[in-house]
Every structure is written in structure tokens, then in C-alpha cells.
Amino acid sequence: MIELDSGDSFAGYIIDRKLGSGGWGIVYLAQDPRLPRAVALKLLDPAKADPEARQRFEREADFTAALDHPNIVTIFDRGVTDDIHWIAMQFVHGTDAGKLADVEVERALRIGAQIADALDYAHRAGVLHRDVKPSNFLIAAPEPGRRERALLTDFGIARLREVTTGLTRTGSVTGTAAYVSPEQVSGDPVDHRSDQYSLACSLFVLLTGRPPFPVTNSIALMHAHVYTPPLLPGELMPELATLDPVFAKALAKDPADRFDTCGEFVAEVARVRAGISDTTALSKPVEKPKPQRDSRRDRKLPRWALPVAGAAVVMLAVLGYLILGTDVFGGARDSAASTVVPAGASSGWDTRHAPAAQAFPGLIGGMNANTGWRGALCRQNDPGSTEEPADHDYARISCVVQVDDGSPLVIDIMDRAGSAHARLGLNGLVAKLFNACDPRPQSLPHAEQARPPLVVTCTGSDYSHDTTHPPVWTFFPDSAYSRFVIVMSWQHHTIDQLIEQWQQLPLGR
């Protein structure tokens, strides 16, 4: 990495001081040699200047220079000096939104509105940013008589709308993990609504101080963006509960369920905040949720329990559960399909889910409060049904346990009372759910169960070594628990490892 000191000259610019450094380069405050102004001089580290890095560096200058908007950082010049690529850009005296804390709602909305306007302008010009996050919102210190201004920066991974995809040519996901859209993760086509999703994640952080997915491991975050319903503002701050439907729409897994523009999203947040919401703008994803689809095939994903012989079918279905986003009951792990949590209910469960929480208090704990087993975050996550008549209308609570190796342990506690399967006996229920493979039932003693639960997997797997297997199902012969079914899955782990975790579960009152 090149290091310059105060007073040094580079490409004619006089260095004042270093502003910061990142993965590929370093930024200095410098004096323009021809005009009386300070610039931010961004240098690409020669040691990291592989072809892709140079391409991204040049793309930032190309795309940003073509944009003329008061909320987008201006590019003044660029070049190559001593084999070092550089960009001279507008210096913004202030900070970035990623460093802000305890942001007032009105201030967060002002920042969001300005960034939304910048993004919509870029989208109309045919440019997608693809790395929208608070640290890329520069907050200029307000001058006397002027309001604070937010500017969007870092178009290093931007692309033109008509040629963009979710992956780089090397196959890596673009964008920052906490803010990346589901379609960027899955490699599906990306359009302007991907930037809107990232803006919604960013505004969520500014409003609540926390991200909509409370995990820190990058792999777990990618999984959460595609499969897990996000937290909503009211679950963290009850006074923001009226904003929940707006964020549910902007953070929808399917881009078609989001707002048309970033500006429309932020304007709706402001309208709801002011108590004059346009309810028609929210009707589609909130009142009429639809099952998640595999956009690459444009068809419904297969049910887990299709009546086709052979364990291979089950394996494909479970891979769909783990990879494509379809749960084992045929519904989508989608924010639109999950139960809407009423305001003020962040510490308790509704009447549909309370029986499970009462039956397994040590496992489930408080709703959305990281109080479950090993600090699990448990949420209402009903799968719904894609069939008529509905036969998968279980009430489900999904718990995610963060494990040290980074792969989350997912535990679904399902209540079949009131469903089409409510009258089935234990054998009939197992037969119904395992009609596509030869089940392997095991009666395993558990310290908190009077009768050993029935633990069921599919035969045909090496349970000590195979890590590509169906999940582990638990059925309860005890009449006090027979209404419940528990499903455990843990990517990249064997069934034996899952059973070891199962034996530690608090499966009782």
C-alpha cells in the first residue's frame, strides 16, 4: 500500500492528511492543483490491483461522473500515475451514516429521502448502485442557514440495469452482507428494487440502531436474507409499530412485492409516521401474500411430501427447504407468509402460538427477544399453504440458534391442533409426512418426556458422515405433547450431530 505524508505531491495534488482506508485502497484529503478546493483523492493499492479491482475502480469513475445530482458525490478527475489508479472526487466534510448513533426519526427520514432521491435518479439514468448501506451515505456538516445534506458515494460495484446480475464474473455475491438483497444472494436478475431493499435495511438500522436480521455471521446473514422473515421496527421499538407494514413491503423477498421506487418507499414511511398512510400502497404484500417462487424456473417449487416413491425425491425437497426457500410443508420462508405481530406483543405470543410456547418454555422463550434455548431468536412463522384445500395449516414458531461454527441451527416447533392433520394418530401422521421415502423411526428417551419421543429421518443416509440429508423430525407419543411436531435442520452437519443437539433440547415444561 502506498503511504503519503502531509505535503507530498501525487498526480499534482498536494496531500493534506489520510481520511481512511479500505479493502482495495486509501483515501486522502488533498488540495486541487488548479482550483481552490479540497478533494478526496482515492488511490487503488497496487498490490490489490487485479483486473477485477481495476475494473471496479474505473467503473466507479465512469458511472459516477455521468451522474449529476446534489445527493451524489461528484467525480472531478481520474488517472493513472506511477501505475497507481486514482480518482479525485468531492470532499464531504462531515461523517457517514454508519457512524451515527441514536438518530432521531425525523433525521433518519431526511437522510433516507435524500438517498432515495439519489438512487431513483441513478436508476432513471440506467445505473444500479448495488452496495447501498449507511457507510456509503456521507453526511455533510450543515452550513449556517442550510440543512444537513446526505450524499451517496461508492459506485464501485454499480452496473447498468440492462446488463446487471447478482454475481460478479468470479461468482462472488456483490454488496455488503447486512444489506444485500435476496436476489443478489441467489444470483437471480437484479433491478432497481434490489437497491430499494438495501435502502430499507439501511433505514431500519438508522431508525432502530439494529439490523433487520439479528445475526452477524456472513453465511447466516445470506441465509436470512433469502429465507427468514425480517424483524420489523415495531418489534424493537413499539412506537414505530405503524411502520411495520411499510418495511414488510420494502423488505419482501420477491422484488415484485416491493414499492416501485425508493422515493415511494420513503414517502410512505413519512406518510405513515404523520398518520396519513395511503393504505392502497400497502395492500398487495400485506393483505395478499403469495408463496415464494423460484424465479429462475417461474413455477411453484415442489412440495416436500409429494406422493412419489424413493428417498431421492425427499432429498431434493429438503435441498429446496435449505437452499431454495421452500419449507417442508410447501409454503415459503417468506416475510409475507409470516404472522403479522401486533403492536405491543413483543414480549408474548398470540393465542395461536401460545400453546407451543407454554409447552416448551425453555426452548422457545419470549417472542423476538433472544430468550430461547442458548439465546435463540424465536418468531411466529406460519408456512401457509399453496394447495386447495389447505392441509398444511400448522401454527409454527421458528427458532434460530447461532452456533460457534457459524452455521445456524434451525428449530421449527409446529402445532397441528386445528389443522387438517389434527385428527391423525401418530402412525398416520408419520405416514402422511413421510410418504415419499422409507422412514427410519427411533424412540429416543428424553429426560423431560414421560414417554420417549419418536425421532424420524429417511433411510439411505450415512448418519455419521453424510451432511446432505433431510432434517430430523420429532413426534410425541405423550398425549400432552402429541399435537406438536418439531423439525431440526443444521446445514453442513450430520444426522448424528443433530441428534446430539436434540438430546440437549429442553423438551418440556
Domain 94-287 in the same topology as domain 9-90: no
Indicate the average pLDDT of the chain.
77
Which residues are within 8 A (CB) of 442 and not within 5 positions of it... i.e. 6 or more apart? 454, 455, 456
Hey, what's the torsion of the CAs at 294, 297, 299, 301, to 10 degrees? Answer: -50
User: Which residue, among 62, 6, 4, 51, has the nearest Cα to 24 in the 3D structure?
Assistant: 51
Q: Which fold has domain 9-90?
A: Phosphorylase Kinase; domain 1 (3.30.200)
173/16 Cα distance (integer angstroms): 36
- What residue segments make up the domains of the chain, in order of their start? 9-90, 94-287, 311-502
pLDDT tens, residue by residue, 78-88: 888 988 888 89
In this prediction, residue 291 carries a pLDDT of: 35
CA 177 vs CA 99, 164, 466: distances in Å = 18, 19, 29
SS3 465: coil
pLDDT tens, residue by residue, 25-49: 789 999 998 888 999 998 887 776 6
Higher-confidence position of 214 and 170: 214
CA 261 vs CA 195, 250, 281, 375, 406: distances in Å = 9, 10, 12, 37, 35
Q: Work out whether strand 472-475 and strand 484-489 pair parallel, antiparallel, or are unpaired.
A: antiparallel
Residues 280-284: contacts with CB within 8 Å, 24+ apart? 281/249, 282/245, 282/246, 282/249, 284/249, 284/257
Say whether 18 counts as a known binding-site residue: no
Cell of 173: 455475491
Instruction: Determine contact, residues 166/183, Cβ cutoff 8 Å.
Output: yes
Q: Which fold has domain 94-287?
A: Transferase(Phosphotransferase); domain 1 (1.10.510)
pTM: 0.54
Just list the catalytic residues.
131
pLDDT tens, residue by residue, 288-300: 333 333 333 333 3
SS3 469: coil
174/158 Cα distance (integer angstroms): 10
Phi and psi at 507, nearest 5°, equal: -100, 55
What stretch of H or E contains 159? Answer: strand 159-160
